[in-house]
Amino acid sequence: MAIRSLITNHLRNNSYCHKLQFEARNLFKSLLPISKASTKYKYIHSSSSSSRLETEILRLKSPSRVLQDWINNGNKVKLSQLNLISKQLLKSKRYKQALEILQWMENQNNFRITPGHHALMMESIVKVNGLNKAGEYFERIPGSGSKKAASLPLLHGYVKERDISKAESFMIKLSSSGLLVTPHPYNEMMKLYIALSQYEKVPLVIAEMKRNKLCRNVLSYNLWMGAFGEVFEVAKAEMVYKEMVSDENVEVGWSTLASLANVYIKAGFVDKALLVLKDAEMKLSTNGRLGYFFLITLYSSLKNKEGVLRLWEASKAVGGRIPCADYMCVISCLVKVGDLVAAEQVFAEWETNCFKYDIRVSNVLLGAYVRNGLMGKAESFHLHTVERGGCPNYKTWEILMEGWVKSQKMDKAIDAMKKGFSVLKVERCDWRPSHSILMAIAEHFEKHGNFEDANHYIKAVHGLGVATLPLYKLFLRMYLNAQRPAWDILKMMEKDRIEKDRIELDDETSALVALNS
């Protein structure tokens, strides 16, 4: 009877979870905007919902308006349901909509706001309104439980911005309030110190955890070990590993062994690294792919092709489709170990199985051809990917631009540059072409006196935020020699100097500016 009762309760709980997720998905869909390509979402609504509600949901005037109308029409909304929707919105980077829903919840009298809600709220405010507003919200949160839950997203925000002053001050505040009861905030601080190359502060964080009798988790040990690895303190990293092995509260898994192997790799202890990687392989399971590709990357750092291929084949035992990111990883690693043939074979495998042609995968192989001086093969491969339905992105054109500049095919390089700039008008990205390529194209314009293209070029480069003093000097000389006014270039230089503090005039530039004024 006890077993039957246990099974019955499990099924009942599972049924409730599925029902909750189903309801949340329906409401989540109602909060999404309509795609321009589609005329209507397939929306499942309760029989009591009016046609006007459906119209309002589809038009999406605002999530809070949709929710209020939903309730006004006699429907009920659960707190857990809205939290689930908010998590989905945050996961899909729809931060403003998530924040609007969470704020709407706080304005309702019939909801008991939980610590989990405050954590979601904090994450949303950090993304939408910034860290100052997030800090103000934290001060208004009632109760230590909610403050504790909301503290980690706020601290993570400080760490992400690398604001060491605010992060350290916030940790002092949390400590004095008795809110430092888990290893997670300490781990965030160790991440910050490592990111800022302040490795000597990491052991101090560990010492504070020990004073406060807080257990370290796996990430704590991995960060501690990694910090010693950055300064080649191999013996101290090994000491951390031994301490972790003797710690009954944690289990040594593949991630820790990978961290130790990375310490050995950086110190040049290849044999030790290989032994540890073999042990790490034994810790992998078929429940996930992440560990396989961490180890594949480390094997490629050791130029160990056999390890890369062995782990690649082993990773296929994990269920489900292999994502494009994993194909990109293994192709890149095979290129790194110098086996283009194996990289091509893996690419062919991906191409055979892919549903949608992801140009990022082919870009990895395209870049390998260009770096190895195989421009004929690169051009043929590029045409092949386009024929297969690949849509070149800015990175595709950057790779080809680099190859054509190196092979002195400047007309093709300039054409690729123009196509890359046109892609940037519709793609949001942080493109940073290399300085040498930018200068080579500018020198080509100067040599041939191509002022029309040169003018478009300098404006585009300035817009990307990658214009440099040598580039500006080249164009000032070009315009001066042709006795043309260079007002636009001077304005761009001044804007960069004042707004971004990136341009500092030397004597030569000052003279060119004076002559062009």
Cβ–Cβ under 8 Å, residues 144 and 179:
yes
Integer angstrom CA distances of residue 443 from 402, 428, 455, 468: 15, 28, 13, 14
Running DSSP on this structure, what letter comes out for residue 201? G
Same domain, 455 and 393: no
Domain endpoint, select from 410, 431, 452: 431
Q: Which two tokens stand for residue 226?
A: 């990694």
Report which of 139, 148, 160 is spatially closest to residue 184, judged by C-alpha positions: 148
Q: Is residue 328 part of a domain?
A: no
| pLDDT number for residue 503 | 64
Q: Which of 375, 407, 431 is the last residue of a domain?
A: 431
The pLDDT of residue 81: 80
Q: Are residues 398 and 421 in the same domain?
A: yes
* Of 314, 377, 366, nearest in space to 343 by CA: 366
Statement to judge: residues 504 and 461 lie in one domain: yes
Within this chain, do residues 426 and 360 fall inside the same structural domain, yes or no? yes
Query: Does one domain contain both 419 and 497?
Result: no
Assigned token pair, 152: 């980690």
Verify that 415 and 386 share a domain, yes or no: yes
Cα–chain center distance at 450: 39
Residues 382 and 445 in one domain: no
CA-nearest of 499, 506, 436, 498 to 471 is 436
Residues 471 and 460 in one domain: yes
Best CA proximity match to 295, nearest among 309, 214, 6? 309
Specify the pLDDT at position 34.
40
Q: Is 466 inside any structural domain?
A: yes
What is the DSSP code string of 59-78?
Answer: HTS-HHHHHHHHHHTT----
Residue 439: inside a domain, yes or no? yes
CB neighbour list of residue 266: distance below 8 Å, 6 or more residues apart: 229, 230, 232
Is residue 394 situated within a structural domain?
A: yes
Measure the CA–CA gap between 403 and 339, rounded to whole angstroms. Answer: 20
Beta strand spans in 4-145 (E): none
Instruction: Answer yes or no: do 409 and 444 share one domain.
Output: no
Q: In the chain, how many domains are there? A: 2
Phi, psi (deg, nearest 5) at residue 93: 65, 30
**CB contact burial 89-109 (16+ within 10 A = b; e otherwise):** bbeeebbebbbbbbebbeeee
The pLDDT of residue 301: 97
Per-residue model confidence (pLDDT) at position 433? 80
Which range of residues forms the domain containing residue 386? 356-431
Task: Name the pTM for this structure.
Answer: 0.81
Angle at CA of residue 135, ends 129 and 140, nearest 5°: 110
- Helical H runs in 129-183? 131-140, 144-160, 164-176
Last residue of a domain, one of 378, 405, 431: 431
Dist. CA 475–CA 493, nearest whole Å: 11
Residue 391's alpha-carbon distances to 360, 363, 369, 385, 422, in angstroms, are 10, 11, 19, 8, 13
3-state secondary structure of 377: helix
In order along its 517 residues, the chain shows pLDDT tens digits of 333 332 234 334 444 445 445 554 555 554 554 443 333 333 334 444 434 433 443 345 577 777 877 788 888 777 888 888 888 889 888 899 889 989 988 888 878 889 999 999 999 999 999 999 999 999 999 999 999 999 999 999 999 999 999 999 999 999 999 999 999 999 999 999 999 999 999 999 999 999 999 999 999 999 999 999 999 999 999 999 999 999 999 999 999 999 999 999 999 999 999 999 999 999 999 999 999 999 999 999 999 999 999 999 999 999 999 999 999 999 999 999 999 999 999 999 999 999 999 999 999 999 999 999 999 999 999 999 999 999 999 999 999 999 999 999 999 999 998 888 888 777 777 777 888 898 999 899 888 888 888 888 888 888 888 888 888 888 888 888 888 887 888 888 878 776 655 666 666 767 777 776 6
Q: What is the pLDDT of residue 42?
A: 37
Residue 470 included in any domain: yes
The conformation of residue 471, written as its DSSP 8-state character, comes to H
Residue 457, in any domain of the structure: yes
Amino acid at 90: L
Residue 198 domain-assigned (yes or no): no
Phi-psi category of residue 483: left, alpha or beta, with phi > 0 → left and psi -120 to 50 → alpha: left
Angle between helix 95-106 and 63-72 (nearest 10): 40
Q: What is the 3-state secondary structure (H, E, C) of 419-443?
A: HHHHHHCCCCCCCCCCHHHHHHHHH
229/498 Cα distance (integer angstroms): 40
Same domain for 413 and 485, yes or no, is no
In-domain check, residue 471: yes
Whether the CB-CB separation of 166 and 180 falls below 8 Å is answered with no
